[in-house]
Structure 1
């Protein structure tokens, strides 16, 4: 992207607060302009975690629905905040005058909760759940946020989602339930919790290629740990 072509976008990236104030005063229409990446100024301020600039922009966008501000991949500012993990900025966006949809999906069906779980941003995931975000939304690969939490091995996230009644035995496009993801990444402790506390299936289960959960475990140590704890 050529520098200077999108001065407000650039100022938001660089954290130039006085420049941002000056530009939105003189050319308020820049707030709703897209750059060559199809992103709005707010996307960049959120991405680079410039909280004071986020507040300036939002104060001038009271009548703007943030769900309409999506880039070519369908990412809204809320998606970016959830991925970046800045709780203060995320809260600012969530409490905008026109409340954003916590379940809005990207072009890949990925929600803010999916992203928070992928990056292990527990505080953001908790806030999303508190605000009513669904734990049942699937992305285009058929994955719930729980699939991602299991894959990264986060016990607190797995418990949060399961306690909110996320489907424990929901299959993704390859026929994997969250247990498969936990075991394939070597997270035996998460796998045990899924079975012991939340009744995840494993004995008669097979994925689309005929593999059982124990067939995807990377090493025997994890396999032994899992079996010792679920077959007592």
Structure 2
């Protein structure tokens, strides 16, 4: 339930005079004394939302105020309220790359399976953070459905790890059962994105891991295989990696009836 759908009603004349902007600023700045006094007077303020649907807890997360987050949770703040973009406090903390905040929220029971309006889970967001520890923390409590959850663009967390050029994240997700055969709305696999990143090590991690029917000849919406993409970009080291795969089809045609070797000329 998006908190914009619920109106904030105060229970007393005194509380009605409270400037909620002060509350949000206190949360973001870690002013626990102000917050405690105001919320004790009117506990409904815990779930009041600003124009973007953000509660005091979300403001505390945005300000990276871990003690304030703990205080608000202790006072009964709803962990899983969503803002106007569908993001929970855990989503916001993950997008910030705030490890300590994520740990605190997860320990208090934050749900990981609530997608935002882009269809993304915290796992998707964690792939943008260079420090793989954040992803590891989320994966400790993730199931396979969440790991392979596709956002509105059809991208899984594995797609995003490849997109962000994160070899370590990719390796971790694969060990947890991420499905390499899933394609996004452009019919791209994670391997397509890995090749596009230009990172040979990233491509090798994917190629070394996959044991099923070869994904190497999957073509995207433009008919381009991974070899087409590597050849067009001139990634000679990646071309060599792809060519090692026995099933690699150098004769495959893209939508313009071009073979990969045309790009190599």
**TM-score tier after normalising by the smaller chain length:** 0.7 to 0.9
Aligned-pair CA distance for 1:199:
4.1
Q: After superposition, what is the alpha-carbon deviation per residue over 1:137-196, rounded to whole angstroms, capped at 9, x for unaligned?
A: 111111100001111111122112112145111111111111111122221210122113
The aligned runs of 1:20-39 (5 Å cut-off) are 20-29=69-78, 31-39=79-87
Aligned-pair CA distance for 1:210:
1.7
Count of aligned pairs between the two proteins: 212
Residue 210 of structure 1: SS of its match in structure 2? coil
Question: What's the C-alpha RMSD, in Å, of the aligned pairs?
Answer: 2.1
* Distance (whole Å) between structure 2 residues aligned to residue 89 and residue 140 of structure 1: 27
TM value normalised by structure 1:
0.84
* Distance (whole Å) between structure 1 residues aligned to residue 177 and residue 142 of structure 2: 17
Moved more, 77-86 or 167-176: 77-86
Aligned-pair CA distance for 1:209:
2.0
* Distance (whole Å) between structure 1 residues aligned to residue 218 and residue 126 of structure 2: 27
Q: Please tell me whether the aligned partners of residues 57 and 77 of structure 2 are also in contact (alpha carbons under 8 angstroms).
A: no
For 1:174, the equivalent position in structure 2 comes to: 222
* Distance (whole Å) between structure 1 residues aligned to residue 127 and residue 140 of structure 2: 14
* Distance (whole Å) between structure 2 residues aligned to residue 191 and residue 99 of structure 1: 32
Aligned-pair CA distance for 1:198:
4.6
* Distance (whole Å) between structure 1 residues aligned to residue 105 and residue 144 of structure 2: 15
Residue 90 of structure 2 corresponds to residue 42 of structure 1: yes
Residue 128 of structure 2: SS of its match in structure 1? helix
* Distance (whole Å) between structure 2 residues aligned to residue 77 and residue 161 of structure 1: 22
Rg larger in structure: 2
For 2:16, the equivalent position in structure 1 comes to: none
* Distance (whole Å) between structure 2 residues aligned to residue 187 and residue 99 of structure 1: 33
Residue 188 of structure 2 corresponds to residue 143 of structure 1: yes
Q: Please tell me whether the aligned partners of residues 144 and 178 of structure 2 are also in contact (alpha carbons under 8 angstroms).
A: no
Q: Please tell me whether the aligned partners of residues 93 and 100 of structure 1 are also in contact (alpha carbons under 8 angstroms).
A: no
Q: After superposition, what is the alpha-carbon deviation per residue over 1:83-102, rounded to whole angstroms, capped at 9, x for unaligned?
A: 22331111111002767621
Structure 2 unaligned residues grouped into runs of 5+ = 1-19, 25-49
TM value normalised by structure 2:
0.74
Residue 170 of structure 2 corresponds to residue 125 of structure 1: yes
Q: 1:60 to 1:15 in 2, by over 3 A?
A: same
* Distance (whole Å) between structure 1 residues aligned to residue 168 and residue 189 of structure 2: 18
